[in-house]
Amino acid sequence: MGDGERLIVGWREWVALPELGLPAVKVKVDTGARTSAIHAFDIERVAAEEGVEQVAFSVHPLQRERGIVRRCRAPLVDRRRVTDSGGHAEERFFVTTELHLGGRVRRIELTLTQRHDMLFRMLLGRTALLPDVRVDPARSFLCGRVAARGLYSRTHQEPSR
The domain total for the chain is 1
Would 2 be classed as within a structural domain? no
Would 33 be classed as within a structural domain? yes
Domain span at residue 64 reads: 7-157
What per-residue confidence (pLDDT) applies to 141? 96
Record the pTM.
0.87
Would 1 be classed as within a structural domain? no
- Block means of pLDDT (10 residues each) for the chain, length 161 residues? 77 97 95 92 88 92 86 94 81 95 95 82 94 95 89 63 47
Distance CA 38, CA 118 (A): 11
Distance CA 90, CA 15 (A): 26
Taking alpha carbons only, the member of 7, 11, 6, 15 closest to residue 138 is 11
Check if the beta carbon of residue 137 is closer than 8 Å to that of residue 32: no
Would 24 be classed as within a structural domain? yes
What per-residue confidence (pLDDT) applies to 156? 52
Would 28 be classed as within a structural domain? yes
Would 70 be classed as within a structural domain? yes
Would 63 be classed as within a structural domain? yes
Would 95 be classed as within a structural domain? yes
CATH number of the domain bearing residue 133: 2.40.70.10
